[in-house]
Amino acid sequence: MFAVVFCAHGYGLYMGNPYLPEYPEQGMFLSKDFPIGVKAGYQGVLVYERRLKLRGSSISTIPKRENLKYYQNLAMVSMSLYDRVELYTGLGASQFFQESPVDFSILHTMSHDNFVWEAGGRVLLIFWKSTAFGASAGYQRASPNMAWTTVDEAPGTTSNSKLSYSQWQVALSLSHKLGVISPYIGGAYSYVKYKVKTPIFTDLLGENNSSKTYENKQKISLVVGASLTATEVINLDIEAKTFGEKSLTVMGCIRF
């Protein structure tokens, strides 16, 4: 069915239940048998731990304090066809907080709440009785402005500073309906690129070190979640990730 979703986000990329192209099953205006449907909803995600490493560096050299936290809020539009394929895109805001060792100092940065966009799709691959197996893929990008920075807790400059964040993800998941609740489990492979440009790097490391590019240390995450079909037209989701990142997502949508 054809879906429109307005969401709020705070992680990287929400995987979702493999049943999402089908949920909610009934529209307020279009029947469940109509091949195209429309949804509107809310999605909120918080990533409270994502370990980073300098791009190209060895994992064994990663300091334990290299961490990125962030949340995002998005309004999204999605389209689904025959309850099997769903495409979506979203616009919203995100804020990032990073802790990073630089030379013998600790750098903290926080961004303003700035623009982020996202696009992706989901496919319900196998459906048998009450069990579904699906795949999803998505991409997200943001270029927030730096709000403040500190070096060893002393305020630093934010002039001539830039931040850039991007992430892509592919995932597989399995779900089983238990009445109005559909728990699911899956695995996601994601790649995060986070670039920081600040004069502080030049001050600490020399002229040719004005920026650093980081990537996620662990690429694979375990995902667990559950969907609640509150009514025929409303669906609620909660999702948690661990290993590759530690995050929590909540989502609710209405089908038209």
CATH number, residue 215: 2.40.128
CB neighbours (10 Å) of residue 159? 8
In a domain, 223, yes or no: yes
In a domain, 12, yes or no: no
Instruction: Provide the b/e sequence for 116-141 (b: ≥16 CB within 10 Å).
Output: bebbbbbebeebeeeebbbbbbbebb
In a domain, 83, yes or no: yes
Tokens of 103: 């030379």
Which residue intervals of the chain are DSSP H helices?
199-205
pLDDT of residue 205: 74
In a domain, 15, yes or no: no
What is the pairing mode between strands 181-197 and 39-54? unpaired
24 to each of 13, 18, 60, 114, 228, how far by Cα in Å? Answer: 21, 12, 45, 31, 10
CA 230 to chain CA centroid, nearest Å: 24
Global pTM reads 0.85
In a domain, 150, yes or no: yes
Could you give the 3-state DSSP secondary structure of residue 204?
helix
Residue pLDDT tens, the chain, 256 long: 333 333 333 345 788 888 888 887 777 787 778 888 778 788 787 888 888 888 876 654 455 567 888 888 888 788 889 889 998 888 888 899 988 888 778 888 899 999 999 999 999 999 899 999 999 999 999 999 999 988 888 888 888 888 999 999 999 999 999 989 999 999 999 999 999 988 888 777 776 777 889 899 899 999 999 999 867 788 889 999 998 888 888 888 888 8
pLDDT of residue 165: 94
Distance CA(163)–CA(148), nearest Å, equals 12
CB neighbours (10 Å) of residue 65? 12
In a domain, 94, yes or no: yes
pLDDT of residue 6: 30
Distance CA(197)–CA(163), nearest Å, equals 6
In a domain, 169, yes or no: yes
How many domains is the chain partitioned into structurally?
Answer: 1
In a domain, 29, yes or no: no
Range of the domain at 73: 36-255
